[in-house]
Amino acid sequence: MLRRARVRQALDDLPGALADLDRAHELAPDAPGAYSDRGDILRFACRHEEAIAAYDTALTLDPDLTWAWGSRALSLEALERVAEAVASLDEALRIDPGYGWAREQRERMLGAETSP
């Protein structure tokens, strides 16, 4: 279901992708990956509030999901909630100090925040 949801997303079939994720949730309601994938699909559709809610659910199920913390940060940034975005990246880096992508995004966001 998760792979098919990604394929549907790539084909710009948002309703189909979300339907596949709904089915994945029915089959495995405690699987954080399905919620994280839902967040990604919603983020790509610029539905950031919904994406954040999906990431939050994934993180409730698995607080160590660094990818979800990073993706959550991108949605928060898109909503101009930079301090919260940086806090999400800080959490990803607390879990995995070697997570280079999160470090780069954090530096970029902090640099943009101080630019005129």
**38-79 per-position pLDDT tens digit:** 999 999 999 999 999 999 999 999 999 999 999 999 999 999
Token reading at 5:
């949801």
Average pLDDT, the chain: 93
pLDDT at position 92 is 98
- pLDDT confidence tier of residue 113, bands split at 50, 70 and 90: low
Q: What is the pTM of this model?
A: 0.87
Q: Determine the CATH number of domain 2-114.
A: 1.25.40.10
pLDDT at position 10 is 87
Reported for 45-53, long-range contacts at CB under 8 A and 24+ positions apart, including other chains, are: 45/14, 46/78, 48/75, 48/76, 48/78, 48/79, 49/75, 49/79, 51/75, 52/76, 52/79
